[in-house]
Amino acid sequence: MTREEVLVKINEIFRDAFDDESLEVSDATTANDIADWDSLMQMNLIEMVEDEFGFQFSMDEAAGLKNVGSMVDVVLAHC
Amino acid sequence: MDCFNYPIDVKTLRRKKASIRRTLLEQPNLIEKKIAVLGGSTTNEVVDQLELFLLSYGIKADFYQSEYGKYWEDAMFGSPELDGFEPDIIFIHTNWRNIIDFPQMNMDKTQVDDMLEAEYQRFEGMWQRLSEKFNCPIIQNNFERPNYRLMGNRDVWDYRGKANFVSRLNQKFYEYANEHTGFYINDIDYLAADFGISQWNDAKYWNMYKCINMDAITYIAQSVAFIIKSIYGRNKKVLALDLDNTLWGGIVGDDGVEGIKIGPEVPQGQVYAEFQQYCKNLKDIGAVLAVDSKNEEANALAGLNHPDGVLRPDDFVDIKANWEPKDRNLEQMASELTLGVDSFVFADDNPAEREIVSAQLPGVAVPAMDGAENYIKVLDHSGYFEVTNLSAEDMKKTDMYHAKAEASKAKAAFADYSEYLKSLDMKATITGFEPIIVQRVSQLTNKSNQFNLTTLRCSEDDIRAMEESDDYICMAGRLVDKFADNGIVTIVAGKIVGDALDISLWLMSCRVLKRGMEDLMMNQLVAEARAKGINKIVGHYYPTPKNAMVQDFFDDYGFSLTDTDDAGNKKWELNVGDYSEKVSYIENEILDREVQ
């Protein structure tokens, strides 16, 4: 899977999670850019990414997330 | 919606939460209920999922959630929010990690018995207090098996084993449940076993999010919803069964009575006999059985009279064996019994028949009965006939046990909150922003939202710069109690400007709310300010959508409000000389901390 393909799927996840069909995320998007992105949402996002791509984040991977780009990195490392 | 049927679709319920919720809210005739969730772990996700399941039963719930881990404090000491909420139902969402003391290997049986009693009384005292105050049904989780077995197999039977302790504690919960109406156990011990105990206890979830495995949470929510909808009379009443390949193997019209598979002779026959037995047992808990089958009636009756069968024709309230469409039969049955079709479960091995019934009669529950070996599992996991009230007459033993409960209540728990705080054996360590904690300090400034006065977000460099500057007072507080080392939970930093200290950063983790840690920090801050010859402390509150809880924080410490602007920003001042030290129940391990 290419980086772009992963980002498209992750964007879909963000749209469902934040219930906002117009949401566009990029590698640089962080929790500061989306009002409802708190620690609970973070946990949900990780679960949704796991569901979508069929792997489990290790604790280090989950704790090391900085922005959407680092989420894509983790997916690419597994898929 | 299919995602609520066994096997429930955990992924969709998570991902499409918002749109499922929207759709369900459009249903007519929703009943509204207020549910207080008192949690020993994170409760948000449980509440989100519970909301969906309840909506699927036509119940629109409004929720109160205790602060993280504050189930016991909320129950014992109340909170204005909870009191004002006036719950219709209280759900106490605890798990084995909320057990305070576990036996040690060097303890004798009596010590462990005492420990068990103390742990139990903590819970019973809470239930009593809640029922006195709110007089509403209480749903209490039992405890699941812990994450490891120190002694291996022995752990479950030796009185020092955690598994044994948990199991004994559960038994005491059950005794209480048997003696009290309006008290229900949510059986997470079963849910965890069914889910897989190792997955359930996945340490990642507890240590990162303070909850159990996220997938398991959906099952907990479903289980609680079973209890609640049962309390509010939303159980199913009738199980309408197909015959061929549902109650026996084969087609009685083609194979003849002697040709159908039922009974001990062949494995398939055994499976069907077991299922018939399960259905018969459902009658004992008040479910009503009926037949809805495409058959000649004579053949249907012959099949039900098979010598190796368990169910007999008179076990059914109605037998509709004919060639009418099954939805038509079901509708007719409903009107004969003066029930709504939404009181029916339709069990049929044929997906096409199921499809017609669910399309024509959307209120009917239509489980996916695929493979005879799965029938019991499917029905049993669907909670259609969840029992919350069994023969009311037998339940009148409450009075007899009331005196006993009163007596034990006296033993329960603590007289007041300060006594409770003392019992926590709290110790705090307050340090500057030392190199080893810089990362954690920065992280806390970036993720704390609720108890955060200024929401000043700081990089690690920002933190280091403050620590190295002579113009700053920096304090990081670590709190240890008898349950756990909570780690660094509070951060305070202030800039010295002339003879004043301007507080630029004050935050605390909500997990240590109401412990008095903020009092200790203020005492310490004032002491350090004094030592540096500072006369005035200036505090700020900058409102965000999430930090309303601390808008009057400084008021509690004798600060005067000196300025409020249109945006709600507040400025407070305190003359250091006027400060009266707060009583704290936390042992401060660094009172001799070197003042720089």
Q: Is A5 helix (H, G, I), strand (E, B) or coil?
A: helix
What pTM, to 2 d.p., does this model score? 0.76
Q: Which of B353, B243, B241, B239 is nearest to B299 (CA)?
A: B243
Q: What is the DSSP letter of B66?
A: P
Name which of A13, A16, A59 is nearest B208 (Cβ-Cβ): A59
Chain B residue whose CA is closest to A42: B209
In this prediction, residue B60 has a pLDDT band, given cuts at 50, 70 and 90, of: very high
Q: Is B110 helix (H, G, I), strand (E, B) or coil?
A: helix
Return the CATH superfamily for domain A3-78.
ACP-like (1.10.1200.10)
Q: pLDDT value at position B596?
A: 40
Dihedral sign of CA atoms B430, B434, B439, B443 in order: positive
What digits encode the pLDDT tens for the residues A3-36?
999 999 999 999 999 999 999 999 999 999 999 9
Quote the tokens at residue B332: 């007719």
Q: What are the structural domains, with CATH classification, of chain B?
A: 2-231 (3.40.50.1110), 238-385 (3.40.50.1000), 425-588 (3.40.630.30)
Peptide bond into B313 cis (omega under 30): no
Name which of A13, A43, A58 is nearest B209 (Cβ-Cβ): A43
Q: pLDDT value at position B507?
A: 96
Select the residue from B204, B451, B455 to test the A interface by mutation, using most A Cβ atoms within 10 A. B204
Chain A residue whose CA is closest to B44: A40
What digits encode the pLDDT tens for the residues B497-528?
999 999 999 999 877 888 899 999 999 999 99
Other Cβ atoms within 10 Å of B391 Cβ, number: 7
CA distance A61 to chain B (A): 11
DSSP assignment of A22-53? T----TT--GGGSTT--HHHHHHHHHHHHHHH
**Interchain pair A38, B15: CB under 8 A:** no
Alpha-carbon distance B451 to B264, whole Å?
66
In this prediction, residue B414 has a pLDDT band, given cuts at 50, 70 and 90, of: low
CA B211 to chain CA centroid, Å, is 10
Residues 6+ apart with CB under 8 A from B481: B424, B425, B426, B427, B515
> Edge-to-edge strand order for the sheet containing B138-141?
B59-65, B31-39, B89-93, B138-141, B183-186
Name which of A48, A58, A63 is nearest B14 (Cβ-Cβ): A48
Structure-model confidence comparison of residues B419 and B245, the more confident one: B245
Lowest mean pLDDT among B145-159, B253-267, B359-373, B417-431: B417-431
User: Quick check: B397 pLDDT over 80?
Assistant: no
Chain B residue whose CA is closest to A50: B11
What digits encode the pLDDT tens for the residues B350-396?
988 998 899 899 999 999 999 999 999 999 999 999 999 875 433 33
Q: Which of B165, B164, B145 is nearest to B156 (CA)?
A: B164
Instruction: Sort out which chain A residues have CB atoms less than 8 A from B211's CB and list them.
Output: 43
Q: pLDDT value at position B545?
A: 83
User: Quick check: B39 pLDDT over 70?
Assistant: yes
Select the residue from A18, A44, A53, A61 to test the B interface by mutation, using most B Cβ atoms within 10 A. A44
CA distance A16 to chain B (A): 6
Euclidean distance between the first and final Cα of chain B, in Å? Answer: 65
Domain definitions of chain A by residue range: 3-78
As for the ipTM of the complex, it is: 0.92
**Interchain pair A13, B45: CB under 8 A:** no
User: Quick check: B45 pLDDT over 90?
Assistant: yes
